Amino acid sequence: MCGIVGYVGAKNAVPFLLQGLSKLEYRGYDSAGIAVRTNDSIEIIKKRGSIQNIKDIIGARELNSRIGIGHTRWATHGNPTDENSHPHVSSCGRIAVVHNGIIENYIELKEKLTELDIKFNSETDSEVVAQYIGYLYKTNKNIFECILETVKVLQGSFALCIICQDCPEKLIVVKKDSPLIIGVSEGENYVASDVPALLSYTNKVCRLPEKSVAIVTADEFKLYDFDKNVIEKKLDLVNWSVDSAEKSGYEHFMMKEIMEQATAVKSTISPRINLDLNNNLVKLDNITFSEEYLKNLEKICIVACGSAYHVGCVAKYFIEEILRIPVEIDLASEFRYRNPIVKNSLVVVISQSGETADSLAALREAKKLGARVISIVNVFGSSIATESDDVLYTYAGPEIAVATTKAYSTQLVSAYLLTLKLCELLQKRTLNYDKIMQDIKKLPEKIEKILENKNSIHDIAKKYYNYEKVFFIGRNIDYAVCMEGSLKLKEISYVHSEAYAAGELKHGTISLIDDNTLVIALATQTKLVDKMISNVREVRARGARVLFVASENCQEKLHEVAEDVIVIPEISDLLSASLSVIPLQFFAYYIALYRGCNIDKPKNLAKSVTVE
């Protein structure tokens, strides 16, 4: 979604603003703009379309300023037009604002300001922020006070970065329910809504606490709450390398990230389990559970969105089988509106970005209802991580492609580890536990084997890229993986697909199957292979072509009923999702490639969805 950058320091702000915005392109946007302070005025350059348009306008001009702000907009209120692009400027022309989030009461504020003869230039909710500050500034020349007064009337979510013509050395930034980071360096300071914009410049960051305002100058920054009380600053060191957010020779981030999965899974499990020794205990960071808590634990509720929700769907099978504790799984956007029962429940929120608005709102609801919340998060210090009672970080590194791959895989193994820890504490370790533990240790090497085999999936995709109708079918854990395979295909190749429980097709949906349909069938659950074969015979009889993804130990007999079979290494049935998802990621990638789609930035989608 929208991206923010800001700079104040001894150098020219423009190169950072443009490069920083380019680094945030992956979040999804449809217009871009920058504002810099020159000696005479605030100069705004903003345009619908890509950042390149801004670069073209600047061209060979020597636009030079020690302070500036920039923005990539993902349209919500008003079309993607030049006028609706950020930065927005107050009527007096002395204040420029970029905004991420949504101002929920913007209509009311706009009406009030319009009655006061203030003219608006856009349809956005964001412009009211610039105009409101500008209105107050007419009578109070203390810009900081005007901003504080403004944030008190705003409802909704907002990360703001503001410059004022009369304050040549100050950026003012505000955070409420939308992430914002200050990057600290010698003689210059940066602002960004996401770490990748800063990686080439500094690894020292301060993530703005919820409901805070900062005054940032070249040499320092001061942090306040909305009542102007000073807040203690907390600096973190980001350990992501500059290269981790580069394509490193790959054509797309998505392929790079698929190929990083063996390493990412190893990085996530290795600090928590001993990979070499015959030691089967899980060290779960500093997460502890009292005996009393465990005695009363009756249910686990998993809450997430999109692919992270699909991780929860797999985890439900895993947890219930191993722990014999019921698991409820909710889409975060539904959870808070159904009056959930969380008494004696552990709530697990899963999120790569840690900023997904729906997941954050669900987390807050769960806490309000008295539940303990553990989150599984990739981005250090993100809002979901900060607000949870405990965090289990995934060590996937930055994920740039909109379609998640390595985050999914690392979330999945984190859910396994959390389950095994509870298993150990609840004294439910059985023979199965040891086998699973050993197999988890083998996951990186088995994932690597599948990655090495990517060309065969490329060849298979070549046969099927023209199909417009695809069904993913499976049973049990395979069904949960089908949901992820189907989402991957839809989001990047725009091919309509559905994930169906294989046994459910005949209850209606089979009417859609014809000789224009491709069916991708998963068979990794040994006890269910014969049932899958029967379901595949049903779709074959109606003309569909069938591609099987099956475990080594399940593949026998499948060649007779399918055009193609992709074989994945043998692993405990309960862990098969960690392997079977990878051919589906490759498949979606190659289909999208053959169809000429924009793989890393699929249309209409944003990487981190910070609006509800």
By annotation, the residues acting in catalysis are 2, 607
CB 444 within 8 A of CB 265: yes
Pairing of strands 517-523, 469-474: parallel
- Tell which one of 545, 608, 610, 611 touches ligand F6R (CB under 6 A): 608
- Tell which one of 125, 491, 564, 570 touches ligand F6R (CB under 6 A): 491
Whole-angstrom distance, CA of residue 293 vs CA of residue 372 = 10
Residue with Cβ nearer ligand F6R (25 or 564)? 25
**Placement of tokens 């300023």 in the chain:** 65
Smallest distance from ligand F6R to CB 487, Å: 6
- Tell which one of 22, 131, 388, 404 touches ligand F6R (CB under 6 A): 404
Q: Which residue has its beta carbon closest to ligand F6R?
A: 306
Q: Determine, following the binding rule CB under 6 A, whether residue 165 of this chain makes contact with ligand F6R.
A: no
Question: Is residue 171 helix, strand or coil?
Answer: strand
CB 353 within 8 A of CB 382: yes
Adjacency order of strands within the sheet including 545-551: 496-501, 469-474, 517-523, 545-551, 564-568
Site string for ligand F6R, 278-317 (x = CB under 6 A): ---------------------------xxxx---------
Cα torsion 389, 393, 394, 398: sign: positive
CB hemisphere CA count around 496 (13 angstroms): 5
Residue with Cβ nearer ligand F6R (88 or 490)? 490
- Tell which one of 69, 489, 588, 609 touches ligand F6R (CB under 6 A): 609
Residue with Cβ nearer ligand F6R (106 or 587)? 587
Residue with Cβ nearer ligand F6R (151 or 611)? 611
Q: Determine, following the binding rule CB under 6 A, whether residue 192 of this chain makes contact with ligand F6R.
A: no
Pairing of strands 95-103, 204-207: unpaired
CB 123 within 8 A of CB 79: yes
Task: Please give the structure tokens belonging to residue 140.
Answer: 């109070």
Smallest distance from ligand F6R to CB 396, Å: 11
Q: Determine, following the binding rule CB under 6 A, whether residue 410 of this chain makes contact with ligand F6R.
A: no
Residue with Cβ nearer ligand F6R (410 or 517)? 410
Residue with Cβ nearer ligand F6R (415 or 609)? 609
Q: What is the DSSP string of 29-72?
A: -SEEEEEEE-SS-EEEEEEES-HHHHHHHHTT-----SEEEEEE
Report in angstroms the alpha-carbon separations of 268 from 323, 393, 407, 414, 489: 22, 8, 10, 7, 26
Smallest distance from ligand F6R to CB 482, Å: 15
Whole-angstrom distance, CA of residue 200 vs CA of residue 186 = 14
Report in angstroms the alpha-carbon separations of 540 from 533, 543, 546: 10, 5, 7
Report in angstroms the alpha-carbon separations of 221 from 8, 68, 133, 185, 214: 11, 16, 21, 11, 6
Smallest distance from ligand F6R to CB 488, Å: 6
Residue with Cβ nearer ligand F6R (489 or 568)? 489
Residue with Cβ nearer ligand F6R (331 or 510)? 331
Backbone angles phi, psi at 231, to 5 degrees: -115, 145
Smallest distance from ligand F6R to CB 416, Å: 18
CB 214 within 8 A of CB 221: yes
CB 177 within 8 A of CB 357: yes
Backbone angles phi, psi at 564, to 5 degrees: -140, 150
Residue with Cβ nearer ligand F6R (89 or 403)? 403
- 320-379: contacts with ligand F6R (CB under 6 A): 351-353, 356, 359
Smallest distance from ligand F6R to CB 429, Å: 31
Q: Which of 181, 195, 189, 180 is nearest to 220 (CA)?
A: 189
Smallest distance from ligand F6R to CB 306, Å: 2
Task: Please give the structure tokens belonging to residue 322.
Answer: 């191993």
Whole-angstrom distance, CA of residue 123 vs CA of residue 298 = 49
Residue with Cβ nearer ligand F6R (90 or 352)? 352
- 450-489: contacts with ligand F6R (CB under 6 A): 487
The residues, ordered by sequence, that sit 6+ positions from 428 with a Cβ below 8 Å of its Cβ are 322, 323, 324
Whole-angstrom distance, CA of residue 51 vs CA of residue 31 = 7
The residues, ordered by sequence, that sit 6+ positions from 450 with a Cβ below 8 Å of its Cβ are 568, 569, 579, 582, 583
Q: Which of 267, 197, 206 is nearest to 237 (CA)?
A: 206
The residues, ordered by sequence, that sit 6+ positions from 588 with a Cβ below 8 Å of its Cβ are 403, 485, 488, 489, 491, 492, 493
Smallest distance from ligand F6R to CB 303, Å: 10
Total number of residues that touch ligand F6R (CB under 6 A): 15
**Residue 109 burial (CB < 10 Å; 0-12/13-18/19+)?**
buried
Residue with Cβ nearer ligand F6R (280 or 353)? 353
Smallest distance from ligand F6R to CB 609, Å: 5
Q: How far is CA 381 from the centre of its chain?
A: 14
- Tell which one of 403, 422, 521, 536 touches ligand F6R (CB under 6 A): 403
Interface residue list for ligand F6R (CB under 6 A): 305-308, 351-353, 356, 359, 403-404, 487, 491, 608-609
